[in-house]
Amino acid sequence: MNIVVLLKQTVDLVEELELNDDGTDIEREYLSFKLNEWDEQALEEALLLKDAGAGSVTVIALDETDVDQSLYSALAKGADRAVKLTGDFEGGVSSHRRAAILAEHLQREPYDLVLIGVQTPEDLDGQAGVILAGRLGVPHVSVAIGVEPLDGGVKVSQEFGAGVVHELKVAGPAVIGVQAARQAPRYVPISRIRAAMQEGGIEEAPAPEVPAETGLKVRRMYAPESSSHAEMLSGGADAVAARIVEIIRERGILK
Amino acid sequence: MSNEIFVLVEHHAGAVTDVTHELLGKAAELGGPTVACLLGHGARGLADGLAADTVLSVDDPVLEHFVPEAYATVLASLIAPRDPRLVLIANTTVGMDLAGALSARTGRPLVAYCTELAFDGEATVATSQVYGGKLNAEVEVTGPVIASVVAGSFTAASGSPGAVQDVAAPDLSGVRTQFLARVAPDTSDVDITAEEILVSVGRGIGGEENIELAQEVAEALGATVSGSRPVTDAGWLAKTRQVGKSGRKVKPKLYLACGISGAPEHLEGMSDAELIIAINTDEKAPIFDVAHYGTTEDLFDVLPALTEALQGAIA
Ligand SMILES: Cc1cc2nc3c(=O)[nH]c(=O)nc-3n(C[C@H](O)[C@H](O)[C@H](O)COP(=O)(O)OP(=O)(O)OC[C@H]3O[C@@H](n4cnc5c(N)ncnc54)[C@H](O)[C@@H]3O)c2cc1C
Ligand SMILES: Nc1ncnc2c1ncn2[C@@H]1O[C@H](COP(=O)(O)O)[C@@H](O)[C@H]1O
């Protein structure tokens, strides 16, 4: 089975997000980018399938900020191939555009199974995986927490709220939006990533040009002005701890 | 384009979800006409409890369980002839499978993580939560649109339908996805939804070895330790302890959030707690918008100090 994993670089949410001058998008220039956390789960699930002898793993990413790092890390973890699609992605790439490019590219890249993170923090116009499946005309399952080979296809565990899980069987090529791999993503020592870098091995291809509009016009982006904000406690850990005890005692929570 | 507003009726184990009624409420507020799309097998009776002008009921054995491909095919077939101006779908597991699929199939723009909606002439103006709840985006769309809506955003409507129409399912013989089984929730652990005090840890706790800091506070308080999704995914806590959209919805007397950012999927599970106290070093963390009290002190300092203060207070 040819397993393709789609990787995307996304902003690190721990950072301060600044807006551009007209307040319609984040200012990307000075931000640091890292692999979307759900894509990391998708990669792990693919590597677990490979470990079980189910097939080979190809990771594919658009040439977005610091993507080499993520591609080499995937190779160091055990991916067989890494493909970087080059093009102009500076202003960020919508999910519809990403899906259109990847759908076009996948016409040339044989695949049996596509794994992608179920979402990214930037999916204003929806999640790329499900849009991609729609464009490819193949089945899709979102919020997967396990993918295993079954009768030439796959068995997917799909998670609903409150601990309910459905098991689905999907025959033929499919796109799966991964929420969590069956185990926590493996750790790879930096020395192995460096070794992968030394070997090179990232294949490059120009991203196919495909027109894809989201149809959305962003009027403005802003930090939510919440109607209420927590009353902040300060003055050091001991003072804060003492205040917390006081508060919960006043409320009768502490008996 | 017609003026109709479509709402996907999501139902599980014979009950319509709360968020479905919220979508119907919003659809009516926007002026309707509201059309509820009820897909299933032997579920037509659920139509009676839907506050919609029209219910389109599609019954087919393939629709007995949620099969993403089949549901997308049926919905697309309902949308095509009536060409509604707006399609509302909840941003649940079901919605995440359907909204994008319909956008791809029908060419309609999709606004995801939507929390607010209004019409402005021909245009639809929607607000979306992005970047883990740190930013809102206000977007404008002209023409027909699909919105996937965050649960809890709108006020539910109750009532009964004006009319129920049966619609035959399109040909579903090409569907390659098959439902195998439903796995029931694990009930072997404590039920965190029944606990009065939760000390809840997020990724900020840093590792499994630090869970005991929260455990100590919990012991001093007579509380139970719960956590955010990354913590249970990593195996630092059991899955049964997960709070949020895909975990449990809790409403304790006290929810002490330690190193939890407050992503929308987490807030969905705990924002109704009676008292929320958050410890997070990032003053911009969205958790502070729902918390009653908060501190930006380091949790590695506050938790031990709190254990000590509690022990002193109780002794
Ligand atoms: C379909 C779907 C369903 C989901 N369901 C759920 C769900 O049920 N529950 C859930 O929780 N998530 C869920 N998520 C994930 C959700 O989107 C977030 O990724 C998750 O809630 C983030 O968890 P966190 O707050 O622990 O981690 P992060 O967002 O990484 O936040 C960690 C926080 O810790 C703070 N911190 C770090 N160090 C310290 C320190 N020393 N002292 C104090 N603070 C510190 C940081 O400032 C940061 O704000 C779901 C996602 C999807 C796509
Ligand atoms: N949007 C939906 N519309 C109709 N049925 C659904 C929907 N979502 C889930 N279901 C079905 O509702 C039934 C009960 O779900 P559950 O209790 O989660 O097993 C199952 O048959 C589900 O497949």
- Summarised one tens digit per residue, pLDDT across range B63-113 is 999 999 999 999 999 999 999 999 999 999 999 999 999 999 999 999 999
What are the respective helix, strand and coil percentages of chain A, to the nearest 5?
A: 30, 30, 40
Please report the DSSP string for A169-186 in residue order: EE-SSEEEEES--SSPPP
- Which helix (DSSP H) or strand (DSSP E) does residue B153 occupy? none
Contacts of A119 in chain B (CB under 8 A): 96
CB spacing of A254 vs B100 below 8 angstroms: no
pLDDT band at B315 (very low <50, low <70, confident <90, very high): low
- Distances in Å between the Cα of B252 and the Cα atoms of A42, B224, B225, B228, B249 are 34, 11, 12, 15, 10
Structure-block tokens of residue B70? 């089949």
pLDDT tens for B243-290 read: 999 999 999 999 999 999 999 999 999 999 999 999 999 999 999 999
pLDDT at A14 over 90: no
Is residue A78 within 8 angstroms of chain B, CB to CB?
no
pLDDT band at B140 (very low <50, low <70, confident <90, very high): very high
**In chain A, which residue's Cα lies nearest the Cα of B91?**
A126
pLDDT band at B312 (very low <50, low <70, confident <90, very high): confident
* Range A87-98 average pLDDT: 95
Residue B44 beta carbon below 6 angstroms from any ligand 2 atom: no
pLDDT tens for A143-188 read: 999 999 998 899 999 999 888 999 999 999 999 999 999 999 999 9
Paired sense of beta strands B15-16 and A140-150, if any? unpaired
**Distance between the two ends of chain A, CA-based, in angstroms?**
60
- Kindly provide the residue ranges of all beta strands, DSSP E only, lying in B63-122, ordered along the sequence: 86-90, 110-120
* Range B115-127 average pLDDT: 96
Query: In chain A, what percentage of residues exceed pLDDT 70?
Result: 100
Pick from A95, A125, A210 the residue to mutate for testing the B interface (most B CBs within 10 Å).
A125
* Range A65-91 average pLDDT: 97
CB spacing of A232 vs B296 below 8 angstroms: yes
CA distance A201 to chain B (A): 30
pLDDT tens for B177-226 read: 999 999 998 899 999 999 999 999 999 999 999 999 999 999 999 999 99
CB spacing of A123 vs B277 below 8 angstroms: no
Angle B163-B165-B171 (CA atoms, 0-180°, nearest 5)?
160
* Range B120-148 average pLDDT: 96
B112 closest CB neighbour out of A123, A171, A217: A123
Instruction: Write down the pLDDT at residue B313.
Output: 80
CA distance A13 to chain B (A): 7
**Within 13 Å and on the Cβ side, how many CA atoms surround A85?**
24
* Size of chain A in residues: 255
B136 closest CB neighbour out of A26, A222, A244: A222
Alpha helices in A6-94 (DSSP H): 37-51, 67-77
CA distance B180 to chain A (A): 5
The whole-chain average pLDDT of chain B stands at: 97
Instruction: Write down the pLDDT at residue A162.
Output: 87
Place of tokens 């807006």: A19
The whole-chain average pLDDT of chain A stands at: 95
Q: Residue B225 in contact with residue B242, Cβ under 8 Å?
A: no
